[in-house]
Amino acid sequence: MSIRHRLAQRRLRRRNDRAWIPARWTLWSQPRSVLGYLLTVEIVAAAVVGTTFDLVAVTHSDWIRLLVLVGGSAIHLEAARDIERLRKVGAEGIPYVNLKGMWTFAGVLLLPPPLAVVLILSTYVHSWLRVRRVPPYRSVFTASTLVLAGAAGAVVLAAIRPGVYPGYPSGPLGLVAVAAAGLAYWFVNYVLVAGAIVLSNPDAPGRNALGRLSDQLIVAGSLGLGAATAALLLSQPWTVAVLLLTILGLHRALLVDQFQAESRTDPKTGLANAAFWHEIARREFAGAERTNSPLGVLYVDLDHFKTVNDTYGHLAGDEALNAVAGELRSEVRDNDLVGRLGGEEFAILLPQTSAADTALTAERIRRRVAALSITVTTGSGPVLCDTITCSIGVATYPESGTSLDELQMAADLAMYHAKDTGRNRVVSAPANGPELPTA
Q: Are residues 233 and 345 in the same domain?
A: no
| 192: containing domain | 25-262
Q: Are residues 161 and 124 in the same domain?
A: yes
Cα 147 to Cα 318: distance, rounded to the nearest angstrom: 36
Q: Are residues 221 and 291 in the same domain?
A: no
> What CATH number is associated with residue 328?
3.30.70.270
In a domain, 17, yes or no: no
Q: Are residues 212 and 315 in the same domain?
A: no
Mean pLDDT per block of 10 residues along the chain (439 residues) reads 46 40 54 88 91 75 91 84 57 62 91 92 86 73 92 91 79 90 93 84 59 75 88 82 75 59 76 88 90 94 90 86 91 90 92 93 95 84 88 94 91 93 93 58
Phi first, then psi, for residue 266 (nearest 5°) are -75, 125
In a domain, 335, yes or no: yes
Q: Are residues 86 and 211 in the same domain?
A: yes
Q: Which of 214, 236, 262 is the last residue of a domain?
A: 262
Q: Are residues 279 and 227 in the same domain?
A: no
Give the pLDDT confidence score for residue 204 in this predicted structure. 54
User: Residue 379 CB: number of other CB atoms within 10 A?
Assistant: 9
In a domain, 16, yes or no: no
In a domain, 92, yes or no: yes
In a domain, 11, yes or no: no
Give the pLDDT confidence score for residue 2 in this predicted structure. 42
Q: Are residues 360 and 319 in the same domain?
A: yes
Q: Are residues 209 and 243 in the same domain?
A: yes
Give the pLDDT confidence score for residue 21 in this predicted structure. 33
Q: Are residues 218 and 253 in the same domain?
A: yes
Q: Which of 232, 262, 292 is the last residue of a domain?
A: 262
Q: Are residues 355 and 399 in the same domain?
A: yes
Question: What's the domain count of the chain?
Answer: 2
Q: Contacts for 142-147 with beta carbons within 8 Å, 24 or more apart? A: 142/193, 143/45, 144/41, 144/42, 144/44, 144/45, 144/46, 145/41, 145/45, 145/188, 145/189, 145/192, 145/193, 146/104, 146/120, 146/189, 147/45, 147/48, 147/49, 147/117, 147/120
Q: Are residues 195 and 331 in the same domain?
A: no
In a domain, 193, yes or no: yes
**pTM greater than the 0.75 cutoff:** no
In a domain, 333, yes or no: yes
In a domain, 380, yes or no: yes
Q: Which of 231, 262, 293 is the last residue of a domain?
A: 262
Q: Are residues 235 and 285 in the same domain?
A: no
User: Residue 51 CB: number of other CB atoms within 10 A?
Assistant: 10
